Amino acid sequence: MTPERWQQIKVLVALALEREPGERPALLDRECRDDEPLRLEVETLIASCEEDRDLIEKLTAERARTLILSGEPRVVSTLTVGPYQVMGEIGHGGMGTVYVAMRADDQYRKRVAIKLVRRGMDTEQILSRFRHERQILASLDHPNIARLLDGGTTEEGLPYFVMEHIEGQRIDEYCDARRLTTIERLKLFREVCSAIHYAHQNLIVHRDVKPSNILVTPDGAPKLVDFGIAKLLKPEMYARTIAPTIAAVRPMTPDYASPEQVRGQPITTASDIYSLGVLLYELLTGHRPYRGAGLTLQELEMAICDEEPERPSTAVNRVEEVIDEDGSSQKTLSPETVSRTREGQPDKLQRKLKGDLDNIVLMAMRKEPQRRYASVEQFSEDIRRHLDGLPVIARKDTFGYRTDKFVRRHKFGVAAATALIVLAIAAAVAIVMQSARAARERDKAQKVSAFLVDIFKLSDPSEARGKTVTARDILDKGAERIERELKDQPDVQATLMDTIGLVYRGLGFYDSAAPLLEKSLSLRRELFGGEHLDVAKSLNDLGLVMIDKQNTASAEPLLREALAMRRKLLGKEHKDVAESMNLLGLVLYFRGDFASAEQLQRETLAMRRRLLGNEHQDVAQSLNNLGLTLHDRGEDDAAEPFLQEALAIDRRLLGDEHTEVATFMINLASVKFAKGDFEEAERLHREGLVLDRKLWGNEHPRVALRLNNLAEAIRERGAYEEALPLYREAIAIDRKAIGEESWTVALFTSNLAAALHGEGNLAEAEPLYRNALTIFKKQLGDSHPRTARCTTRLARLLFEKGDLAGAEQMLRQSLEIQRKNFPGGHRDLATTEVALGDLLVRRGDAQGAESLLREGLGFRTSKLKNGNWQIAEAESALGGCLAALKRYDEAEPLLTASYSVLRAKRGDNDKETARALARLIQLYQAEGKLDRAAQYSAAASNK
């Protein structure tokens, strides 16, 4: 074992031990992928470390190797299992190891295979599944299924069973080594079908049909092995010790799993039919239907559920790099290498597969179980009919399927005898139309692809002729050509408008994206009418850009229509439905309806977890959006775990340098900031700004948001001069990208004014506040929380200028809005309460001020860390109020402690520190402690 291998094992064991047992298979699926030896080593050590969590750190690589090797069944060291002499290992799987052995008591001399539970895997669930497999084998007697010969229990109480030993090769290697022709492979495959059909007749679904589980003997007989994850269709027919299948575990081999296996849905014989289709696809073409370089497990599962595989006759022309199942080597598959082991010539192989075999394989692999062959026997019979030159069931656009669908839509019309003829004609027309539609879709895809390739020729040196060509140039040229050249192809035109519109959007060119998406929507409405998935997509995409443009009033009806349409056409549980729900939740969030946004986001998150599992980018997106809503509601403790989980998922899936990772860092930093962890917030924003500039360039709205947030963290520590240029750059970017009157321009302007206000530049700050407030009211409305926050800031400035009446009116307006929006309290509400309380003290209403100040201080104390300057600011204001009420003994500790904190956190020259000092001096003067007052007055004059 190399040091590198040992380090890899240690890391995986440590990660697995941190998770619940039920979460570990997904981790190992993702990290080990096709490296089965690595997975075996990790699983063995996990079992050993369960009893001693520090064991992994105590082990050396050699000691670990010894432990892993001894991690095979404890009985191996005795060299006998019951009456059998163990001779060596054949292989191992998820729960057991298989050995070759001989009968040791001389009753007869026969080589056999013995399967035992591996050390560390002898949990009750695994032992139950092991006995389950043994009972299944005992019930099967077929020439193409490995037979059970014997069984028993070891001295240590572990079950084992003895099977006939198959001397043979896995079916794909057997076929390639002997260069079997397509016809020979089909005949061999029909024998495999016979074994699976027999199992189905005995109410058993194999669930793991793949080449390594089908061995072919030297005389050419295939043998089906390994029923370790098989499912009983009627468990009640067997012993009650058989454990039911646990859906969450979803045992399977992903490359050969059916869509229903991937989704965790009920498994029937149709699942084996699908896996047989994948097996036949590979035997005929040499390729796997969804195999691609760098494909993650989640990407593979999405392909299985959502992507249609290439026709086998097309796949044989594919060139791709593939990795052997043991991960030890890589090879290139090409038309020449594939045909060399089959028909000799690529064109000859393609002709053999084109037509019937294309349709037979793809019918077996249909996404919907009910559209596959009704049984394995029917699948095999269709192959026989093809071999005999007879018509097959799997004809292109099957008449039976199309007619059945038509009849179901018109079942009442069938009742009349005279309508039968009309129905037959209508069905025929429907078939022709469906076929034509499929042809149009293929034609459209080809035209879209050709067009996109053509517009990107602009970047070719021979086309550019020495000029620097930007992505914007390419998109602008493409958009112009779509309008001019595709007027007679509205379907293609709409698709390309939608595609290029989304690319514009991704680059931050929202004003260019919106018109294209609007035209795409209009074209699709004309082409498809009111209810169509393409129309729903256009509504959704346009709604997304309206969110980016901060036009939530336009976005909301678009997204509500898209959501209703998708629910009607796709059902309530679908990833596209979740996408529209997610965007609608964002609209509600931006409009300040946090309660409705939170409810919708929680529903979306739950749906996405059900559909996609926990490790998915869409799930991370929902976690982030929910966390952001909770943050804006002032529930930062509740928000932080969601944002941390979202960031962790995306880092695992996408790496550290990804745009979504950068966005999630912004949001987590905002929560850190709100909780008073300014140093961590600033660190995250600085790290994120470098990443954002690298990913987006210097003029993207996301960079503007990062600049603003970093400036906010800097302003909070009183470094106003350092923050000012960051705010100004953010405003300039957003004005150019979104417009002069976007609410983010207003937000950044308000923050810039706050920095100027903080350094005492009231003359420049006031018009900026007023300009921001005007935009907020126009874009978000008078009752939006951001409007209220800006109003409070302007009111505090007026207070400092001496306009107490104007300031009080504004503060009471803000207070009314915030109490309505945040009934449970909020940091903005606390700021307004403290400001209004301080003003009332100045106006002589200390009695009315006390409750406001205590409520504001109470919220800050409950939400922020001890020592936070905002807590000190509220304590100082309350101390001044109590002093005005002549409750000096209560006021003094508040005023002295808050002054010390503000000096330490904000510095002597900060205005809040100065105000705290002035209150303390006034206290001692009112108490008659003139020496103390003089002492602090001297400190003030020395500044």
Could you give the residue numbers annotated as active site? 208
Query: Which tokens is 494 given?
Result: 């709409």
377/742 Cα distance (integer angstroms): 65
Residues 6+ apart with CB under 8 A from 101: 81, 84, 85, 86, 87, 111, 112, 113, 114, 162
Buried b (16+ CB within 10 A) or exposed e, 123-153: eeebbebbbbbbbbbeebebebbbebbebee
Backbone angles phi, psi at 321, to 5 degrees: -90, 130
Strand order in the sheet with 214-216: 169-170, 214-216, 222-224
273/482 Cα distance (integer angstroms): 44
790/217 Cα distance (integer angstroms): 81
Amino acid residing at 524: R
Give the up-direction half-sphere exposure of residue 634: CA atoms within 13 A in the CB hemisphere: 19
| Alpha-carbon separation of residue 255 from 204, 301, 376 (angstroms) | 21, 8, 20
Task: Report the chain's terminal Cα–Cα distance, integer Å.
Answer: 69
Question: Are 83 and 103 spatial neighbours (Cβ–Cβ below 8 Å)?
Answer: yes
302/366 Cα distance (integer angstroms): 15
209/327 Cα distance (integer angstroms): 21
To which residue do tokens 């947030």 refer? 709
Backbone angles phi, psi at 486, to 5 degrees: -115, 25
Question: Are 620 and 660 spatial neighbours (Cβ–Cβ below 8 Å)?
Answer: yes
Strand ranges (E), 744-898: none
Q: Which residues pair with 115 in a beta bridge?
A: 98, 161
Question: 3-class SS at 260?
Answer: helix
Question: Are 853 and 833 spatial neighbours (Cβ–Cβ below 8 Å)?
Answer: yes
Please report which residue ranges of 286-355 form alpha helices under DSSP H.
297-306, 312-315, 335-340, 346-353
Burial of 655 (0-12, 13-18, 19+ CB in 10 A): exposed
Question: 3-class SS at 824?
Answer: coil
Question: 3-class SS at 408?
Answer: helix
Q: Sign of dihedral through CA atoms 882, 885, 890, 892?
A: positive
Strand 111-117 relative to strand 96-103, pairing: antiparallel
